[in-house]
Each structure stands twice: as structure tokens, then as C-alpha cells.
Amino acid sequence: MVLTFFPKIRSTTPGACVINVGAEPSPGYRLLRVRGRGGFAEVWEAASPAGPVALKFMPSSNTGTTAREVRSIQSFQAFDHPYLVKTNGVWSVPGYIVIDMELAEATLLDLMLVYHNDLGQHIPTPQLCLYMWQVGEGLDFLNARRHTRDGRRVGFQHGDVKPNNVLLFGDVAKLTDYGLATPTHGPATPCPRHGTREYAPPEVFQGYLSDTSDQYSLAVTYHVLRTGVFPFPPPPAGDMPKSYLRPPADLSALLPAEQTVLARALSAVPQDRFGSCQEMIRGLLKAHGLKMSRSDDGVWRPVPDDETVPDPPSSKTMREIANRSNSRPR
């Protein structure tokens, strides 16, 4: 939905596949409309033999690299988790890698903007906590060293957790783009590239991923969705010096009990964070006087936790918070 800021993303490879409304980039797939553009890819709604799907087109010119990327993304297809977006297939066409995935209604960023622009408020806290809980489940599954890659036990750090990588399917939020995740064998894994820098943990600027890197980005994501702003000023543009230190987070827009939870999840030292994303989310639920409960229909929902008394709502208005100097999220 957030299209206007990004130009079309087209492959420069001679003879590259045409991407237009009505085009059939692969047999049986017809492009219907653009659903979004990021820095490196364009996502289309398409008709397919299996019904409506999302097709992500990533320009790719080098055949060797393309084959490697396709194999790497294909290896994630086997993942079957209720809070990870399902990948139906990955292949290459001239000039692009194509990923066929579940078609979402919107991203969490879209939802936040609808609430801000149309209703002048943030996403209601119980709804936000539900989405965070679901994404936390997906991340804990991904992060745990329970997967096998090249005969070794590995975990995966997603590396780009942010509101527009969380897709909405009714009341269910699912994490997407984990196909580019990094396998981790131990507490520090070299990572040459970083995801969206506003959400990246400090260790990534130093060139490595920890077991809690995604938790840090989830905490930034929560702050953005809850307040409309980042907890710290954006890192400088251009190449990041390894010596870059993030200024301390300003969490004053949150309730005191939430601040305690987020301060821990945003610790500069990875080992000082929570043991899992779920632990962090339980803390946030508690800060709002909520807990997760499974109803008779088997669905998990946040419900009032009679044993915790939440802090009174902050006296800051949304406008006061939005006027802070920290930049608005993209």
C-alpha cells in the first residue's frame, strides 16, 4: 500500500521479463496489481492456478548468484509455522528471482498509518499485543537452533524485523522475508549486510548477529507501532563506521512498566536482553494488565489479567508524542 515514495524496481538485464498489469511472467500466473515496493523488490497481486497469490520480483542479473539465492530461499519453503508467511515456490525468470507467497491484506505499517490518518489514534494496545505475541512466536521458532542446514543444527536470525515485514491476514500477523535470514551456529555470527538500519541492533553495526538481534528489532518495531516514532534518532546515512554507537533510547512515551521491558530488550549487550521474544512479550502484556488465553475455539487472545494492575494511561497525547524530534518511520 505504501507505494508513492518508491520508484518502479526493474531489472537492467537485457531481455528481462516484462512486469506489467496483465503480464504472465510464468505459465499460469497473471499480474493484477502492484501491492508494494521496498528497496530491492516489487510485490504484485497475481492470479494463479491455486487462486490469488503475492509474487515478489527481485532483480537479479548474475546467474550464479541467482541460482544460489533461489536455492537458499527454497530451503525455507519447508517451514510450516502459523506465524510465518507461507512460501509456495521460488524460481527465476530472465532478470528476476520470483517468490510466490500467501497474499496478505496489509502490513502492520499500513495498519498503523490507517489508525493515525483516519482515526487519529494508535493501534489499540490489546490488538497490538496480539500481533506482537504472534510475531514473537514466529521469531522464537526461527531463532532456536532446531533447524538443520548442510547437516548442522542451526538457528536463523531474520535480520530485518520491522512493521512492513509483518503481514496481516485478518486477526493473524505473520512474519515475512525470512527467506533471507542468516543461519547461526553460536552466539555471534558474522553478518556482512544489515537490514533496515533504523531497526538494527548495535551488534549488527559491528558486523555480527547475536541470538537476540531479532528481539532488539522487535522491540523497536513495538515502540514505533505504539508511539508512531523511533526510540532514538536515525543512524547517519551512508557507510556505517564500526565504532557507531546508538544514543540511549528515549522511552518516555511509554508507560513506566513498558519502559522497563523495552529497556531490557534494547540493551546494547545482547546477553542482557530477554531469553526469548516470548519472554519480552509476556512482560509487555503484563505491563498492560493482559495475558494470553486460549479460548474454546482454540484461538489465542489477550484477556485482562486480574492479578496485574496496569499503570494509569500516559498523560501525553498522541500529538505531543508525534511532535518529538525522532524521525517518523518508513
Ligand X SMILES: Nc1ncnc2c1ncn2[C@@H]1O[C@H](COP(=O)(O)OP(=O)(O)O)[C@@H](O)[C@H]1O
Site residues (vs Mg ion, CB under 5 A):
165, 177
- CB of 60 or CB of 165, closer to Mg ion: 165
Tell me 170's DSSP state.
T
Q: Name the E strands within 205-251.
A: 208-209
Q: What's the angle, vertex CA 99, arms to CA 14 and CA 141, rounded to 5?
A: 145
Q: Which does 111 bind (CB under 5 to 8 A by kind): ligand X, Mg ion, none?
A: none
Q: 177 vs 198, which CB is nearer to Mg ion?
A: 177
By Cβ distance, which residue is nearest to ligand X? 38
Decide whether 39 or 312 has the Cβ nearer to Mg ion.
39
251 binds, among ligand X, Mg ion, none (CB under 5 to 8 A by kind): none
Closest C-alpha among 198, 245, 203, 193 to residue 223: 198
DSSP assignments along 310-321, one per residue: PPPPPS--HHHH
Residues at the site binding ligand X, with contacts judged by CB under 6 A = 1, 35-39, 41, 43, 54, 85, 101-104, 107, 164-165, 167, 176-177
User: CA-CA distance, 72 to 177, in Å (whole number)?
Assistant: 12
Residue 234 C-beta: closest distance to ligand X, Å = 16
Closest separation between CB of residue 143 and ligand X, Å? 19
- Give me the least distance between CB of 163 and ligand X, in Å please: 9
Task: Compare residues 35 and 147 and give the one whose CB is closer to ligand X.
Answer: 35
State how far the Cα of 264 lies from the Cα of 114, in Å rounded to an integer.
Answer: 30
> Minimum distance between the CB of residue 33 and ligand X, rounded to whole angstroms?
10
Taking the alpha carbons at both ends of the chain, their separation in whole angstroms is 12
Q: How many whole angstroms separate alpha carbon 22 and alpha carbon 47?
A: 10
The CB-of-43 to ligand X minimum distance in angstroms stands at 3
Tell me the one-letter amino acid at 140: D
